[in-house]
């Protein structure tokens, strides 16, 4: 089913986020070892920063699916029960609009970097579109997640798993 494919995509995105965090640890460890041996790892700071940004963007859709994004639930405590569903619809539609806008802006930004052949300013000249690409992928997956969430809210089905595991439905 389509939702199974999307849920796998969210999980893969979460794994990519975790892999980026492991990469940061490896870079820091390599830098520590190199310093103890009287050397350095070229552009380690840049690569670690790119991995941190990638980890954040790759983790967006997975975090949404797990229901772990920050949520202002204090508002729902003070509104009547019959307004909860319209508020969920509004929140999902707003999230979809913002994530879609973010995905479009990121895609334009990366396309410009590619067209102008932007290179990093460090010792290792890396085409900037490469470390920027996770922004596009992560924000697109977030928009996809919000669109699925909106469909689920409208049809009365649950979207968030709440525990990092897939729904059995």
Is residue 161 in a domain?
no
Task: Give me the number of domains the chain comprises.
Answer: 1
Per residue in 110-120, pLDDT (tens digit) is 999 999 999 99
**Angstrom distance (rounded) from CA 30 to CA 36:** 10
Q: Is residue 167 part of a domain?
A: no
Task: Give the per-residue SS3 of the chain.
Answer: CHHHHHHHHHHHHHHHHHHHHHHHHHHHHHHHHHHHCCCCCCCHHHHHHHHHHHHHHHHHHHHHHHCCCCCCCHHHHCCCHHHHHHHHHHHHHHHHHHHHHHHHHHHHHHHHHHHCCCECCCCCCCECHHHHHHHHHHHHHHHHHHHHHHHHHHHCCCCCCCCCCCCCC
Tell me the pTM. 0.90
User: Is 164 inside a domain boundary?
Assistant: no
Residue 164 φ then ψ, to 5°: 85, 0
**Residue 164: predicted pLDDT:** 47
Residue 160 lies in a domain: no
- pLDDT tens, residue order, the chain (169 aa): 788 999 999 999 999 999 999 999 999 999 999 999 999 999 999 999 999 999 999 999 999 999 888 777 778 888 899 999 999 999 999 999 999 999 999 999 999 999 999 999 989 999 999 999 999 999 999 999 999 999 999 999 989 886 544 443 3
pLDDT, position 85: 93
Cα-flanking dihedrals φ and ψ of residue 116, to 5°?
-90, 0
| pLDDT tens, residue by residue, 37-47 | 999 999 999 99
Domain that holds residue 114: 2-155
């Amino acid at each position: 089913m389509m939702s199974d494919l999307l849920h796998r995509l969210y999980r893969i995105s979460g794994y990519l986020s975790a892999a980026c965090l492991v990469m940061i640890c490896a870079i820091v460890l390599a830098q520590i070892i190199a310093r103890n041996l009287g050397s350095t790892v070229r552009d380690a700071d840049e690569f670690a920063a790119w991995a941190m940004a990638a980890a954040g963007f790759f983790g967006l859709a997975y975090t949404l699916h797990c229901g772990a994004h920050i949520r202002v639930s204090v508002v729902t405590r003070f509104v009547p029960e019959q307004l909860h569903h319209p508020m969920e619809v509004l929140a999902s539609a707003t999230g979809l609009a913002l994530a879609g806008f973010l995905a479009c802006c990121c895609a334009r930004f990366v396309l410009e970097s590619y067209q102008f052949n932007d290179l990093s300013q460090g010792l290792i000249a890396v085409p900037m579109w490469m470390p920027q690409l996770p922004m596009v992928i992560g924000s697109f997956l977030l928009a996809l997640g919000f669109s699925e969430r909106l469909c689920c809210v409208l049809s009365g089905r649950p979207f968030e798993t709440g525990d990092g595991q897939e729904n059995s439905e």
